[in-house]
Structure 1
Amino acid sequence: MSLSRLFALIQYPLPHHLLSRLVGRLADCRQPWLRNRLVGAFIRQFKVDMNEAAEPDPTAYATFNDFFTRALKDGARPIGEGVVSPADGRLSQFGSIEAGQLLQAKGHHFSAMELLGGDGEAARRYLGGSFATVYLSPSDYHRVHMPVSGTLTEMVYVPGRLFSVNAATTEHVPNLFARNERLVCHFDTEHGPMAMVLVGAMIVAAIETVWAGQVTPLSGEVQRTRFDTPVRLEKGAEMGRFKLGSTVVMAFAEPVAFADALAPGAKVQMGQSLGSFSGASQNSVNVS
């Protein structure tokens, strides 16, 4: 048995939410000696470049979470043409949404309907469209930005597990992004509907948005919030953040012609051009 498969299997019996909440409490500790030890150790372990940060002094942050979700200096991430990356990370997979399915990893697909919280009507909007998945490792900048301009119409909290979302788990846990706790944000754009799905993960203590503040952790059942008063966000604007690393899955109703130079696993930065919209969506068959 490979180490990656073993790593995935041992996660099944773990108390995901309890572990994540305990880590969250530690990350929110305001004791200077503990906070500074945590931040210093993290910077050394992951070789974090504090010269990019708006506040480069590691001891200036009130908590580890404040450090982890630090802002960057103005201009640190230029915004490119077309569809841009919403975050720093790895472009783990991208491509067409075929028969309502998105590629998770080699040999693994998951359904758009399940990803969007069991909403078949919403999933049908993306038949024949495109998707892209960006994995944020612990060392990455952890604010999430808009890949295109859009108006928020609905936010859906979907409860679930909190498996790790690194490459090892992605390869061995079926339907990973459709079984983890997640926040689905629906937008209207000039290119049609767009969904941005912020996927929770092991030790991700919370997900925040710029319009609602901290949203997770919640529990129980799917919770929907409609926005009758428009929330308009321009391309490159911050839309949310993770308190510790995770994944963003984007779905577009209109097909995207991704840049030829991109490949699964490519390192990307927030604002980097991923491609451009290629024309009207060609609807496919049913969603499953």
Structure 2
Amino acid sequence: MSGPIRDEWLPSPDRLKVWFEEMLFKLNSDPRPLNSVLTDFKNFVGSNPEKDQLFNEMIVEAKDPNLKDVETMFSLFNEVIYTAPKWTPDALVGRPINAIIAKCMQTPTGRAIFDDKEVNAHIKKMFDVWVVHLTSKNSRNVLSTKDGWLSPGSLAQLTIPRYDDKNPDKPTDPLKFEDAFVCDLQDTLYYGFQSWDDFFVRRLKDKIRPIPIPAGNSLITCACESHLYRIANNVKLTDKFWIKDHAYSLQHMLNEDVESAKKFEGGTVFQTYLSPRDYHRWHSPVKGRVTKIVQVQGTYYSVYSEITDDPAPNELSVGLLPHVATRVLIYIQADDPKIGLVCFIGIGMFEVSTCQVVVQEGDSLDNGTELGMFHFGGSSHCLIFQREAKIKFNWDVPYMKPDPKDRPRVMVNRSIASIN
């Protein structure tokens, strides 16, 4: 299977092989002392007989020629947290930790390990150290206009479709990076970006993604610049979400909040996913008021159990992630009673995947008001609507296209549905 969700998140096997060779060469030629958080993580595994056995069994089951033992895995983690993702002309290793453990995640033992709360707590501590680097000026070494993310080759890939309000589903010629995003061209090396993360959460210029006119109370817009993944209606309170492409389960999506989940029982879920090159800020899908915000600390590397031998298992598990991944829930009471209560879910897919909220409970919102952003890692978003909202989407419902090539790009702030 090919398409944006796969081609942009993980490189070809040949490119991945080169990346591993480069990383392993560094480990052998100039080993870096293990960071204290990884020393703690390694000691946690080694001092616990059950965990030690599981990690070693996982390595054996994975049969990954690049990962000969647990020691190598921790050493590779250690190298990654001192670097930022690099751009290359042929491919992108945008999720290096995921690349290291991709085969491990798909083993029976690996699934048990990466669903473990204690293991995920150690992974988060590792990510916290990585964040220090990704938000520092030292991380700008991968941005340079000579051979990094701001080089001509990269910028040619960082264009975004121009919005045409007369043909919103048929984007016209792409906008150049400097025409679409806020940047400082007088800074000829870094375009004014202060870190890798500052570049990752770059802002769109005004009017690049305008709110449709007239913008009345009944307008429903997309919260993220993304690709449509799925629309499901008549969603159940609880369902078998762990079965690949099966169903959404509201109670699990909403962090076991049964009272809130019941408000959406029988309603509709709209889900999209973002590529690493997309715009990573979120915007309000409706005019209304924030009633509740919930941060959920979930897992980082959970995948469907049916996936056993795929180079990019997370991409095939997009439907699972709203139930188990680190995420934020923003409840919005729409001003239009026909829309009612809406829940925005920002989902951190893989890696650091921090979800930062910039609004507060009680804030009034217009369509397009910035809600927050995804930092560092991959991402997806869901909008949940109540059963009483008689919403007609711009696509057939239920919607699920198996081949990513068939999934349309949905621009942030564009109308996605109307009220019947």
Scaled by the length of structure 1, the TM-score of the pair is: 0.77
Call closer, same or farther: CA 1:101–1:271 in 2, change over 3 Å. Answer: farther
Residue 195 (structure 1) aligned with residue 343 (structure 2): yes
- Equivalent of 2:380, from 239, 242, 247? 247
Residue 276 (structure 1) aligned with residue 409 (structure 2): no
- Equivalent residue number for residue 283 of structure 1: none
Q: Map 1:86-105; keep pairs closer than 5 Å.
A: 86-100=223-237
Call closer, same or farther: CA 1:234–1:241 in 2, change over 3 Å. Answer: same
Per-residue deviation, 1:30: 1.4
Q: Map 1:52-201; keep pairs closer than 5 Å.
A: 52-55=180-183, 57=185, 58-80=190-212, 82-100=219-237, 107-163=245-301, 168-169=313-314, 171-172=316-317, 175-189=320-334, 190=336, 191-201=339-349
Q: Map 1:207-286; keep pairs closer than 5 Å.
A: 207-211=355-359, 227=361, 230-244=362-376, 245-253=378-386, 254-260=389-395, 264=401, 265-278=407-420
Give the 3-state SS of the residue equivalent to 1:162 in structure 2: coil
- Equivalent of 2:352, from 204, 223, 227? 204
| Cα deviation 1:245-284 (Å, max 9, x = unaligned) | 3111110112421113786432111012211123xxxxxx
Give the 3-state SS of the residue equivalent to 1:144 in structure 2: strand
For the residues of structure 1 that align with 2:226 and 2:370, how far apart are their CA atoms? 16
Per-residue deviation, 1:180: 0.9
For the residues of structure 2 that align with 1:78 and 1:105, how far apart are their CA atoms? 38
* Aligned-partner residue type, residue 392 of structure 2: A
Call closer, same or farther: CA 1:30–1:159 in 2, change over 3 Å. Answer: same
For the residues of structure 2 that align with 1:76 and 1:167, how far apart are their CA atoms? 32
Higher mean alpha-carbon deviation, 66-75 vs 41-50, is at: 41-50
Per-residue deviation, 1:167: 7.7
Per-residue deviation, 1:170: 5.0
State whether residues 164 and 201 of structure 1, in contact with CA within 8 Å, keep that contact through their aligned partners in structure 2.
Answer: no
For structure 1, list consecutive stretches of 5 or more residues without a partner in the other structure.
Answer: 213-226, 279-288
| Cα deviation 1:156-204 (Å, max 9, x = unaligned) | 1222111389984253588422111111111111221111111122223
Give the 3-state SS of the residue equivalent to 1:109 in structure 2: coil
- Equivalent residue number for residue 308 of structure 2: none
Higher mean alpha-carbon deviation, 262-271 vs 85-94, is at: 262-271
RMSD of the TM alignment (CA)? 3.2
For the residues of structure 2 that align with 1:108 and 1:27, how far apart are their CA atoms? 36
* Aligned-partner residue type, residue 274 of structure 1: I
Per-residue deviation, 1:240: 0.7
- The answer to which structure has the higher helix fraction is 2
- Percent identical pairs in the alignment equals 24
| Cα deviation 1:78-104 (Å, max 9, x = unaligned) | 223732111111111113143236889
Call closer, same or farther: CA 1:67–1:172 in 2, change over 3 Å. Answer: closer
| Cα deviation 1:126-175 (Å, max 9, x = unaligned) | 12322211211110001100111120111112221113899842535884
Call closer, same or farther: CA 1:210–1:107 in 2, change over 3 Å. Answer: closer
Give the 3-state SS of the residue equivalent to 2:211 in structure 1: coil
State whether residues 21 and 203 of structure 1, in contact with CA within 8 Å, keep that contact through their aligned partners in structure 2.
Answer: no
Q: Which structure is larger by alpha-carbon Rg, 1 or 2?
A: 2
- Equivalent residue number for residue 66 of structure 2: none
Higher mean alpha-carbon deviation, 107-116 vs 34-43, is at: 34-43
Per-residue deviation, 1:37: 2.1
Residue 25 (structure 1) aligned with residue 132 (structure 2): yes
- Equivalent residue number for residue 224 of structure 1: none
State whether residues 108 and 175 of structure 1, in contact with CA within 8 Å, keep that contact through their aligned partners in structure 2.
Answer: no
- Equivalent of 1:48, from 140, 146, 158? 158
Higher mean alpha-carbon deviation, 169-178 vs 249-258, is at: 169-178
For structure 2, list consecutive stretches of 5 or more residues without a partner in the other structure.
Answer: 1-12, 14-98, 115-119, 160-176, 304-310, 402-406
Give the 3-state SS of the residue equivalent to 1:147 in structure 2: coil
For the residues of structure 1 that align with 2:203 and 2:265, how far apart are their CA atoms? 36
- The answer to which structure has the higher strand fraction is 1
Higher mean alpha-carbon deviation, 106-115 vs 134-143, is at: 106-115
State whether residues 96 and 129 of structure 1, in contact with CA within 8 Å, keep that contact through their aligned partners in structure 2.
Answer: yes
The structure with higher relative contact order (CA 8 Å, sep 6+) is: 1
Call closer, same or farther: CA 1:94–1:101 in 2, change over 3 Å. Answer: farther
Per-residue deviation, 1:27: 1.3
For the residues of structure 1 that align with 2:251 and 2:105, how far apart are their CA atoms? 24
For the residues of structure 2 that align with 1:271 and 1:120, how far apart are their CA atoms? 30
